[in-house]
Structure 1
């Protein structure tokens, strides 16, 4: 299984305001096919709670902060706090994740290498374990 990794993005500092960017295959390890974002997440809510068979994802906190929690097949969890717009988290296919602990007015950006396909989602952790074992 490919590893989840936090990636530092270029940060161009300027007294008028900073600029950060990412380009597929330069900063992230895939070609971007889809971008979506989440916002207005009510306090205490959790997003995600799934894995993908094939899709790779790159997640950035454009504003605010949140935790991406990776659950390994062993049940052990790894927590990644995203709170700076010049860091993103690469989450490869076949990685179980959920997102929690959203601060007020959080805006998260998600880039992926696939168009939306409901059949690519693994929404049951038991099913994920069976897929992971293969």
Structure 2
């Protein structure tokens, strides 16, 4: 089973000219993106996400600001990641409940392995636990 992990993208350039980071098919991204979206101007008191996917894989990047991502793995293991550099992404495999907490200036870029499908979302936490948690 794949586990959430950080991906460091190349940081090409220098302080006097700026930087570019690149994600290409077959290099660093564990899938070919079928959808790309971004979130911004999220108030700090709002928690986004709060869902899991049956099939979709994602890589999240904080292009600006800070994003704290809390992930619950199948079986109940909790992981926390702080994204605050535009050349570092977080891989989230399917079947992982995740929530995001943003600083006021955060801009999140998301690469997704699948096109949007509401049927791919598990939005109810009790359903996630029933579907993915190991029996007690």
**TM norm structure 1:** 0.93
Q: Which residue of 2 aligns with 1:86?
A: 87
Where does structure 1 lack aligned partners over 5 or more consecutive residues? none
Please give the alpha-carbon distance, in whole angstroms, between the structure 2 residues aligned to 1:24 and 1:81.
Answer: 25
Contact 2:75 2:132 in 1 (8 A): no
In the alignment, is the contact (CA less than 8 A) between 2:41 and 2:106 conserved in 1? Answer: yes
Superposition RMSD in Å: 1.5
Q: Which residue of 1 aligns with 2:125?
A: 125
1:13 partner SS:
strand
Aligned to 2:49: 48
Residues 86 and 3 (structure 1 numbering): CA distance in 2 closer, same or farther, change over 3 Å?
same
Report the Cα distance in structure 1 between the residues aligned to 2:129 and 2:71, rounded to whole angstroms.
14
In structure 2, the gaps of 5 or more residues are: none
Match of 2:104 in 1: 104
More divergent stretch after superposition (8-17 vs 52-61): 8-17
Q: Residues 38-81 of structure 1, C-alpha deviation per residue, up to 9 Å, x if partnerless?
A: 00101211000000000000000001111010023454421100
Count of residues in correspondence between the two structures: 133
CA separation in 1, counterparts of 2:44 and 2:8? 28
Preserved contact between residue 9 and residue 22 of structure 2 (Cα < 8 Å):
yes
